Chains A and B, each alone.
Chain A
Amino acid sequence: MSKTPSKLGPNTLSVHGGDTRARAHQAIPMPIIQTATYAFADTADLVNFMEQRSLGTHLEGREDYGRYGNPTVQSVERKVAALEGADDAVLFSSGMAAMTTLLLASLPSGAHLVMTDDCYRRTRQFCLVFLKRLGIETTVVPMGDYAALEAAIVPKRTRFLISESPTNPYLRCVDLGRLAEIANRHRVGTIIDSTFGTPLNQRPLAHGIDYVVHSATKYLGGHHDLLAGVVVGSKARVAALRDARGVLGGIVDPQNAYLLERGLKTLGLRVRQQNETALAVAGYLERHPRIERVWYPGLRSHPDHEIARAQMTGFGGVISFEVRGKLEDASRFIDRMEIPYIAPSLGGVDSLIEQPALMSFFEKTTEERLELGIKDNLVRFAIGIEDPADIIADLEQALAG
């Protein structure tokens, strides 16, 4: 299964994708190789390893130190690559470690980035604050404005076009093929944060995107019990990032990696259920008189519905919607919900609900939030794998109150 055939179904890939089955004692699941360092049989073995490394020919499954590689971690990397239809993937300690390592490893001083708005606010903060200090400028353009995106490209300076798709919290979708086409024309790279998309609902690399980033904490891990991130791409690009990870140090530990691998095995089932439930819930909310507006790319009313339909096979488990009334009305509705936890994050087995105005933008005034496009009565609902009938019944009682 190491050369995973692409014709296998999503559930088969979730269980077996990328698995070489090369492990001690023919154990079925990957062991947790809990080691910081690796021994050499003798000096000749060490010299051979160093010679191979200096020639750039990495010995498969052979490492010298835990920061450079770990078999449990590599097993997950192969699985994510198989799910994305990619050459390779590299795992990090969090989604932000993945994104920041990618940018720090790829950008020279004086470089320029173009980013769509409605992007994860910490990615935006990293680019606008931290990278700025290193002499790297970022231009933020409105999502969906491809003319502005192209116009923002600075010849010879712009290195990447960066977007999330779908975005947080409005689930806006960038036309992946169009983004790649613009980038190619200007010889600029592309990065898509596909966390909300999952490898089962969309595969950005197939549309010509260079790098796909996931917060693996979300759907990939799927149980709200681990933090991890991943970057997927071509063999050479990923190899360079793996080297950078060895320097910057944002590695994931073997226990987390095992839990991630274990979570990935049910990814196909979980995401399919979340797609189905979210579509049903979005339709229910859209018909409800107490709901002003629903943002879900599976709905015809969503501004990017056509793009989403063309490039996604499902629309994910996150729905954003506006409850009629003010901030307090949305809060009261959330407090009446019984099934979801009030918590940030998404993509896990437990449903989570939150009010972005309070969870992510608490320190801002209503006016400042509106400027950022965050309405006070906006609710983000990250649906888990509970029974859809129970979730709709819960919404029904909470909205009736």
Chain B
Amino acid sequence: MARPVTQDTVAIHADAGIDPGPDVAPPIHVSTTFDAANPAGLLYSRFEQPTRQRLEAVLGALDGGEAVTYASGLAAVTAAISVLRPRRVAIAKGGYFGCQATIDAFVPWGLAKVPLDAPLGEGDLVWIETPLNPTCELQDIAEHAARARAAGARLLVDGTFATPVLQRPLDLGADLVLHSSSKYLAGHSDALGGVLVARDPEIARRLRQGRVVAGSVPGALETWLTLRGVRTLGLRVRHQTETATRLAAVLAPKVARVWHPSLPSHPGHALAARQMRGPGAMLSIELATERQARELPDHLTLFRNATSLGGVESLIEWRRRVDAEAPPTLLRISVGLEDAGDLAADLIAGVEAVHGL
């Protein structure tokens, strides 16, 4: 396209021209190998394949960098560590326990995990997750980017909760963005995947090289479903964010605590207004007792009691079930595409039903 276009249009058209055919919808390329006569120089699908190239063209354009996709979000975490090979990773406690566990897996190989505010050195990797799972607390991306750059370190931002619709960390100075594309990007709870988006094409090249060796490529069908999901990303995330904001306001007077950056009581309220184009579609609530929190999901009809997030259907989970560090009174809510009024009515009825337990 000759003219610059906005994100919703990019999500639909940034991959045009990668497949030479006249088909409007992208083909599902299932071929593992390619005839040597192909003009694009494709060899074997562990290296590159066209459906994946299309997804990466779109994800790269959305985040303003070069995208490399993986079989899961944690495969992307593994790739970031094993390709950048930092001596130290500076990371705060908490956040998604899966990322912490993957980073921990490199400690026996000589990686040092240090606090986020530890003094930085050349080649260190600063790792922030913002908004943070499950409380949606924020980190100042530009501030961490400046600090990392001054020390010759790099900054990686896990932006899974925000998506490129609400936050573009590369614009704020980050070197890499990580998304579990299983969540909002694919958006229908039916495809696992991960992506790293690099500002520096040289890092992207090294990531691709590393992926060929590690073999952590996403499968053809998952890749295609993710691309199909990304087409509606803007509509979904804006709608989910509006609904989450409304639910946060409705629930705030009825529960012990609501964690959502739209609320002035949230520690990230002011930063979200500055750094993000919307306070996000995830929220957490705390009830008065553990029993109330454990039983609330059973009293809801629209929310499914399941882990994961970012899909079309609303999910709620007593976070302690999967995360030993989560407060026992906390429930994490992933807001789906349902109408806000229907979700609010369901939650309020549920909260009233468990009241007094």
Contacts and interface: CB of A to CB of B under 8 A. Distances in A.
Interface of A: 1, 8-12, 14-16, 28-29, 223-225, 259, 262, 265-266, 268-270, 273, 338-339, 341, 343, 345, 348-350, 352, 384-387, 389-390, 393-394, 397
A11 B337 contact: yes
In the A-B complex, the 9 residue pairs with the smallest Cβ-Cβ separation, listed nearest first, are: A9-B339, A225-B25, A12-B338, A386-B9, A265-B312, A387-B6, A269-B235, A387-B8, A390-B9
Interface residues of B, number: 39
22 contacts: A1-B301, A9-B341, A12-B302, A12-B339, A12-B343, A15-B338, A16-B338, A28-B189, A28-B304, A28-B311, A29-B189, A223-B228, A265-B312, A269-B239, A338-B2, A338-B3, A341-B24, A343-B24, A348-B24, A349-B12, A349-B231, A390-B8
B78 interface: no
Interface string B222-255: 0001001001101110010000000000000000
B5 interface: yes
B15 to A, nearest CB: 11
Contacts of B236: 266, 269
A5 to B, nearest CB: 9
B30 to A, nearest CB: 13
Given A269-B232, A269-B337, A339-B9, 12 more contacts: A1-B301, A8-B339, A12-B302, A15-B336, A223-B25, A225-B25, A262-B228, A265-B337, A345-B24, A349-B12, A349-B231, A385-B232
A387 B315 CA distance: 29
Given A29-B190, A266-B232, A338-B1, A385 B12 contact: yes
Contact of A386 (B12, B188, B337): B12
B302 A384 contact: no
Contacts of B1: 338-339
A9 B3 contact: no
B268 to A, nearest CB: 27
Contacts of B82: none
Contact of B339 (A10, A29, A224, A338): A10
B143 to A, nearest CB: 31
B166 to A, nearest CB: 16
B134 to A, nearest CB: 19
Contact of B188 (A8, A29, A350): A29
A273 B228 CA distance: 17
Nearest to B239: A269
A385 B8 contact: yes
Nearest to B25: A225
B313 interface: yes
Nearest to B314: A15
A268 B342 CA distance: 14
B228 A15 contact: no
A295 B319 CA distance: 53
A141 B172 CA distance: 63
A345 B1 CA distance: 22
A83 to B, nearest CB: 13
Interface string B1-19: 1110111110011000000
A270 B24 contact: no
B338 to A, nearest CB: 4
Given A16-B302, A224-B25, A343-B24, A385 B235 contact: yes
Contacts of B232: 266, 269-270, 349, 385
Nearest to B224: A225
Contact of B5 (A348, A352, A390): A390
Nearest to A262: B188
B228 to A, nearest CB: 6
Nearest to B6: A387
A101 B17 CA distance: 39
Contacts of B99: none
A389 B6 contact: yes
B60 to A, nearest CB: 18
Contacts of B337: 11, 14-15, 265-266, 268-269
A11 B315 CA distance: 15
Given A15-B312, A269-B235, A350 B342 contact: no
Contacts of A15: 312-313, 336-338
B276 interface: no
A382 B228 CA distance: 19
Interface string B301-312: 110101000011
Nearest to A21: B304
Contacts of B7: 387
B150 to A, nearest CB: 37
Interface in B5-54: 5-9, 12-13, 24-26
A394 B228 CA distance: 24
A386 B12 CA distance: 7
B133 to A, nearest CB: 19
B252 to A, nearest CB: 22
Nearest to B338: A12
A266 B7 CA distance: 18
A199 to B, nearest CB: 15
Interface in B310-342: 311-313, 315, 336-339, 341-342
Contacts of A224: 24-25
Interface in B185-218: 188-190
Contacts of A387: 5-9, 234
Given A11-B339, A397-B3, A266 B312 contact: yes
A273 B304 CA distance: 27
Contact of A225 (B188, B228, B313, B336): B228
A225 B228 CA distance: 9
Contacts of A1: 301
Nearest to B342: A12
Nearest to B231: A349
A358 to B, nearest CB: 16
